């Protein structure tokens, strides 16, 4: 236990409450103070009065009883701002609260602050015209990633113990990798997206940015399970946290393939070395069987973007193109591309690509149970962007073309979204003092095995719960 309990993980904080070492009010006050003095720009709204009132009556016997939490600004909390990080909706307020946040409240969470995101969740860098630039607590000149960048910065920066995230193309795993946190992208539908759940683009899953495997397991204990408002949500699964540490036998002998670049991305050599070393160590520690499988995942950044831009076009409606001047350059670029390229032919091509990718991943999982890869092609880039077009000395714009250079930033994470597979980012080490993430992808409904692998990594090679200079 640290001398500042809110800088530990959420499970330990609840334990501290139950032992009488601190109180929810004290922890919430500490978080409010940390947010107020922070230079990370990770929080866009603080509901201090309501949070302190909730903390004063928190039931610490509940799973998250009294834990102050951040909520990504793409998740709705009734009465809070709901801009989706865009000036287009600068004055909009949420009229409902998401099912995930409601379940967290019922489990005792203190819903404290709204964390920043990239505009409409469209870019893996959290820098918008709405809120400015969010910084990485490991190096404030660097990005915490996106779209859940504010949540990652707030958790790694010591502002809140845990925060919500969403992953439509890597938006939990990318920030987790950049900030030294643990991030699980679950099987599609594991946590319901209601109320008012949309069916497209069939890539987004909900979850959290956390400091520990146990925190994430507890989160899914609380939040998973079918909800009638989301017809694609999955039945409830029990025992996420209680099962931790009990599945070593289930892992022994399972097949693992290490493909740092998934046969598609350009990965910086220094990052590849850290990821390879961490993957080999985890394969050995878990008793997995290393197999050689040729992996070549087709790059689908354009197809992924087009499928997501359909949803964005519906969100903007007849406000576009009149609202073009309010959009960040990346979102405007995407909308312009979609306006010129998206038609029924493109829609068919997108679905053809998705089917082909599913077949590719199915062939891989015929020969392996886990795929180990890098989470990100390199360490965190500049906080305000732009997305890098050079990785490890390779000029992506020259070798792949500009659009594919941008796609390289999510090439390692998007396959799990397009196929619905679960995947985790586990802290693997540092390069030049910046975190590197190890990604593990598995078959649908295999989250419990991914959590077990992550627990082994956490025990054998513990990672810092917060950045060295936190709270920032």
Catalogue the active-site residues.
72, 147, 171
How far apart are alpha carbons 443 and 450 in whole angstroms? 10
Residues 6+ apart with CB under 8 A from 263: 294, 295, 296, 297
Q: Are strands 390-391 and 289-290 parallel, antiparallel or unpaired?
A: unpaired
256 strand-pairing partners: 290, 370
For residue 36, count CB atoms less than 10 angstroms from its CB and return exposed for 0-12, middle for 13-18, buried for 19 or more.
Answer: exposed
The 10 Å Cβ neighbour count of residue 396 is 23
Token couple for 194: 């209601």
User: Crossing angle of helices 301-316/344-367, nearest 10°?
Assistant: 130
Where does 180-321 have alpha helices with state H? Answer: 213-223, 248-251, 269-285, 301-316
Q: Coil, strand or helix: which one is 441?
A: strand
- Distance linking the first and last C-alpha atoms of the chain: 20
CA angle 219, 225, 227 (to 5 degrees): 125
CB 316 within 8 A of CB 205: no
Q: Are strands 423-431 and 370-374 parallel, antiparallel or unpaired?
A: unpaired
Query: How many Å separate Cα 117 from the centre of its chain?
Result: 11
Residue 61 carries which DSSP code? T
How far apart are alpha carbons 65 and 35 in whole angstroms? 21
CB 410 within 8 A of CB 170: yes
Token couple for 257: 């393939």
How far apart are alpha carbons 351 and 303 in whole angstroms? 9
| DSSP annotation string for 241-263 | TTTTTS-HHHHTT-EEEE-TTTT
CB 369 within 8 A of CB 255: yes
Residues 6+ apart with CB under 8 A from 20: none
Token couple for 5: 């309990």
Residue 257 Cα distances to 228, 292, 372, 426, angstroms: 38, 6, 6, 16
């Amino acid at each position: 236990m640290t001398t500042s309990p809110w800088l530990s993980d959420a499970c330990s904080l609840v334990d501290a409450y139950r032992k009488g070492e601190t109180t929810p009010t004290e922890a919430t006050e500490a978080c409010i103070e940390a947010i107020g003095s922070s230079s990370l720009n990770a929080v866009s709204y603080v509901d201090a009065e309501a949070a302190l009132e909730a903390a004063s009556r928190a039931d610490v016997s509940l799973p998250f009883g009294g834990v102050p939490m951040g909520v990504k600004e793409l998740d709705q909390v009734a009465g809070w701002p709901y801009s989706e990080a865009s000036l287009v909706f600068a004055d909009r307020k949420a009229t409902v609260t998401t099912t995930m946040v409601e379940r967290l409240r019922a489990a005792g969470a203190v819903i404290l602050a709204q964390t920043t995101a990239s505009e409409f969740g469209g870019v893996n860098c959290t820098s918008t015209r709405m809120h400015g630039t969010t910084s990485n607590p490991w190096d404030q000149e660097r990005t915490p990633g996106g779209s859940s960048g504010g949540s990652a910065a707030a958790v790694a920066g010591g502002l809140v113990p845990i925060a919500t995230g969403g992953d439509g193309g890597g938006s939990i795993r990318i920030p987790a990798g950049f900030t030294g946190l643990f991030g699980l992208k679950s099987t599609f539908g594991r946590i319901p997206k209601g109320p008012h759940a949309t069916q497209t683009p069939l890539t987004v899953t909900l979850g959290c940015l956390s400091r520990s495997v146990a925190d994430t397991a507890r989160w899914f204990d609380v939040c998973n399970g079918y909800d009638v408002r989301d017809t694609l949500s999955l039945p409830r699964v029990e025992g996420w946290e209680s099962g931790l540490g009990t599945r070593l036998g289930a892992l022994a002998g399972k097949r693992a393939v290490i493909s740092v670049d998934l046969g598609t991305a350009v990965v910086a050599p220094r990052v590849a070395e850290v990821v390879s070393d961490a993957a080999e160590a985890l394969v050995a520690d878990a008793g997995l069987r290393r197999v050689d499988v040729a992996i070549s995942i087709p790059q689908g950044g354009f197809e992924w973007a087009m499928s997501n831009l359909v949803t964005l076009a519906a969100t903007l409606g007849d406000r576009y193109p009149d609202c073009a001047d309010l959009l960040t350059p990346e979102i405007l670029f995407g909308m312009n591309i979609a306006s010129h390229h998206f038609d029924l032919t493109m829609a068919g091509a997108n679905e053809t690509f998705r089917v082909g990718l599913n077949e590719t991943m199915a062939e891989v999982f015929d020969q392996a149970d886990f795929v180990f890869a890098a989470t990100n092609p390199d360490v965190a880039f500049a906080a305000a962007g732009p997305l890098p077009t050079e990785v490890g000395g390779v000029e992506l714009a020259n070798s792949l073309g500009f659009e594919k250079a941008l796609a390289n930033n999510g090439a390692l994470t998007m396959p799990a979204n397009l196929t619905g597979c679960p995947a985790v980012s586990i802290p693997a080490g540092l390069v030049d003092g910046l975190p590197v993430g190890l990604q593990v992808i598995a078959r649908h409904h295999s989250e419990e095995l991914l959590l077990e692998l992550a627990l082994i990594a956490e025990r054998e090679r513990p990672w810092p719960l917060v950045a060295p200079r936190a709270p920032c």
